[in-house]
């Protein structure tokens, strides 16, 4: 149970995620793409196969195996004999292996983990709440009045709060030289920031443009641009491996936007 990692370093990485939208899976894909490490992605097979793969893992009848507890929800990572879920946890495992974070046991990995947890709280989880403030199980159309209220609070209070925090990270001594969130080179936190800003720009284009024009978050939007121009990220974004936004976390409902 608590032995050292059983995963051979040369084992193949497999991402199990819903098809048809970038979602939380995208936070994981960007690490593989930046590192240039091959991975299998169920979302890129036929839609039925991807859905079956996910349902097989999250089924209440699935009790995991001798080495891995059952999982609640995707994204799921398989690597050698290891199965993991929870996005920040998968990232914590992958980033040191892919050269995008210091090793486990290093304070730097803990600092990156707290930065990533915070960005995911604000720019993933809270964005999802804007269109589903009452029930995940109900469609958006059944919770529109509440979504309108929650979106206003998100645009006016929560989004500026999180962007200001990210800017504060960039203004800190620990952000080192260059545009990075932590230290003197790109880490997985920068990739997470890129994706979450990109998704939020899709969902709230007017608000994000207004916030960008304010000049208060110049470092944040500068880092976004820097990551977008990384050669491997640029190639990836132009490829058909990058799925378009759809009815996932980051959705564009004009009625939830600025007036």
- Which residues in this chain contact its own copies in the complex, by CB under 8 A? 1-7, 60, 63-72, 82, 84-86, 88-89, 92-93, 102-111, 113-115, 117-118, 125, 129, 133-138, 146, 149-150, 153, 157-158, 164-165, 168-169, 171-176, 182-184
* Cβ atoms within 10 Å, residue 228: 13
Shortest CB 232 distance to its own copies, Å: 22
Tell me how far apart the alpha carbons of residues 51 and 82 are, in angstroms, rounded to a whole number: 21
CA-closest candidate to residue 159, choices 230, 210, 112? 210
Tell me if 124 sits within 8 A of 196, measured CB to CB.
yes
Shortest CB 134 distance to its own copies, Å: 5
- Distance (Å) of CA 252 to CA 5, 51, 68, 105, 149: 41, 24, 37, 40, 16
Shortest CB 113 distance to its own copies, Å: 5
Query: Measured from the CB atom, is 72 or 252 closer to its own copies?
Result: 72
Cα dihedral across residues 7, 9, 11, 14: positive or negative: positive
Token pair of 101 as six digits: 């974070």
* Terminal Cα-to-Cα distance of the chain (whole angstroms): 55
Please tell me what DSSP assigns to residue 71: -
Shortest CB 91 distance to its own copies, Å: 11
Query: Measured from the CB atom, is 56 or 69 closer to its own copies?
Result: 69
Helices 218-228 and 188-203 pack at an angle, to 10 degrees, of 100
Tell me if 81 sits within 8 A of 65, measured CB to CB.
no
Shortest CB 155 distance to its own copies, Å: 12
Query: Measured from the CB atom, is 47 or 176 closer to its own copies?
Result: 176
Shortest CB 9 distance to its own copies, Å: 13
Query: Measured from the CB atom, is 12 or 161 closer to its own copies?
Result: 161
Query: Measured from the CB atom, is 28 or 243 closer to its own copies?
Result: 28
Query: Measured from the CB atom, is 110 or 252 closer to its own copies?
Result: 110
């Amino acid at each position: 149970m608590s032995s050292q990692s059983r995963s051979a370093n040369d084992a193949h990485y497999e991402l199990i995620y819903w098809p048809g939208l970038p979602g939380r899976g995208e936070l994981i894909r960007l690490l593989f793409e930046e590192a240039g490490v091959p991975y299998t992605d169920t979302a890129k097979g036929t839609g039925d196969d991807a859905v079956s793969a996910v349902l097989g893992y999250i089924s209440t009848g699935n009790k995991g195996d001798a080495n891995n507890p059952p999982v609640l929800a995707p994204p799921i990572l398989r690597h050698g004999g290891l199965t993991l879920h929870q996005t920040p946890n998968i990232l914590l495992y992958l980033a040191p292996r892919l050269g995008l974070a210091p090793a486990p046991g290093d304070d730097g990995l803990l600092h990156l983990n707290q930065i990533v947890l915070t960005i995911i709280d604000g720019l993933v989880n809270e964005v999802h709440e804007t269109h589903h403030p009452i029930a995940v199980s109900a469609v958006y159309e059944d919770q529109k009045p509440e979504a309108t209220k929650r979106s206003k609070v998100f645009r006016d209070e929560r989004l500026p709060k999180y962007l200001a925090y990210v800017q504060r990270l960039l203004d800190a001594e620990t952000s080192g030289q260059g545009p990075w969130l932590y230290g003197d080179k790109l880490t997985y936190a920068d990739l997470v920031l890129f994706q979450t800003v990109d998704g939020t720009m899709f969902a709230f284009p007017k608000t994000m443009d207004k916030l960008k024009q304010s000049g208060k978050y110049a470092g944040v939007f500068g880092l976004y641009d820097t990551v977008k121009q990384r050669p491997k990220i640029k190639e990836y974004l132009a490829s058909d491996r990058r799925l378009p936004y759809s009815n996932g976390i980051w959705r564009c409902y004009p009625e939830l936007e600025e007036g």
